[in-house]
Amino acid sequence: MEETKLNMPLLGDDFPELKVQTTHGPMNIPGDLKGSWFVLFSHPADFTPVCTTEFVGFQKLYDEFEKIGCKLIGMSIDQVFSHIKWIEWIKEKLDVDIKFPVVAANDAVALKLGMLHPGKGTNTVRAVFIGDPKGKVRLVIYYPQEIGRNMDEILRAVKALQLADGKGVAVPANWPNNGLIKDHVIIPPAKTVKDAEARKKQKDCYDWWFCHKAL
């Protein structure tokens, strides 16, 4: 019996090419998203409580993702008519209109993204992939089926990646509410002895390798 290969996309890799059917029609990922940041998130199954809370959570922040040029795409291995019916149920029962497309994946697609973990049964895990405008994988998180995601953290991560790319800085823990430097960002450490000595005298430096600044 042939062993099933589990692919795990790595940070910096090209996002795997996927030709999929969605609730908004056929889509090529990441080709159709070129020039845009995107968050592709998988859920174990339609018509399940935790997944429903997640879809509502993502939709509540839909406009915030749009403001920063980031597209949301849901995904599971349910068929597209199941997605459509579930979205209708969410609209009817919870008065939330899901605006983002939902991919009807198959096992081949799920395996490309490492979404089917043998130790967690046959459903897809709660995977989160953040892709950049060049179609590169920039962040990957896998959650077990029993734990729902934090959408605010995913939005924060996209903003932090955009900031790091645009300003050439690093972003501290819990940014923009870090316990040490609040909403400041971290500047790259000194690369010469002369610069290191100068940094020690600067106001916003704990040491030459730990300096921060306001945006």
Which residues are known to be catalytic?
51
Instruction: Report helix, strand or coil for 60.
Output: helix
User: CB neighbours (10 Å) of residue 53?
Assistant: 14
Angle between helices 49-60 and 80-94 (to 10 degrees): 70
**What type of residue sits at position 139?**
L
Helices (H), 68-209: 80-94, 107-112, 151-167, 193-199
User: CB neighbours (10 Å) of residue 71?
Assistant: 18
125 φ/ψ sector (left φ>0, alpha ψ -120 to 50, else beta): beta
- Residue 176 CA, distance from chain mean position: 18
List the beta strands (DSSP E) in the chain: 18-22, 25-29, 37-42, 70-76, 102-104, 126-131, 137-143, 185-187, 205-207, 210-213
